[in-house]
Amino acid sequence: MWRGRLSPPPDPYVLVGWAGDGGTVAGFAFGELSPAATAPTGKLQALHVLPALHGTGAARALHDAVLDAFATWGLDVAQLWVVEGNDRASAFYTKHGWVFDGTRGRNDVGGVEVGTERWTRPVRLHG
């Protein structure tokens, strides 16, 4: 699936990996530019860390690296989609300034159609 999403890579895009002990990749994040009718938006397409690293700050570091890239691209707004019922992801994104904007959709995840929710936030939070 990832080979298809990244070949050819979106322009611009960022893929950030985080290596744990022994050089093993313990997580990754993927963001891309989404030209919108009103203004370009940074889309956080994926953010994953191994379950053993939940709560260690690894996900926060990946999240912040993608938002930093969005800022260097001059973007003001970031967007992502969360699978409905993914309470862990919803709690993480809420903690980091994201808000469900009321938009719902459907997406194929590994051959299964699931409900999704669109979340947004400013690329840079004020204060």
pTM for the full predicted model? 0.84
Q: Does 57 fall in a domain? A: yes
At residue 109, does pLDDT exceed 60?
Answer: yes
Question: Can you give the pLDDT at residue 25?
Answer: 78
Number of domains within the chain? 1
Least confident piece of the model among 7-11, 98-102, 118-122: 7-11
What are the tens digits of pLDDT across the range 12-69? 677 777 666 677 778 888 888 887 767 889 999 989 998 988 888 889 989 999 999 9
Q: Does 75 fall in a domain? A: yes
Mean pLDDT over 104-123 rounds to 94
CATH number at residue 24: 3.40.630.30
Question: Can you give the pLDDT at residue 127?
Answer: 46
Residue 55 belongs to domain spanning: 2-122
Mode of pairing for the β-strands spanning 41-49 and 77-83: parallel
Q: Does 77 fall in a domain? A: yes
Q: Does 58 fall in a domain? A: yes
Q: Does 127 fall in a domain? A: no
**Which positions ≥6 away from 78 have C-beta within 8 Å?**
31, 41, 42, 43, 44, 67, 70, 120, 121, 122, 123
Q: Which of 114, 94, 95 is nearest to 104 (CA)?
A: 114
Q: Does 103 fall in a domain? A: yes
Q: Does 25 fall in a domain? A: yes
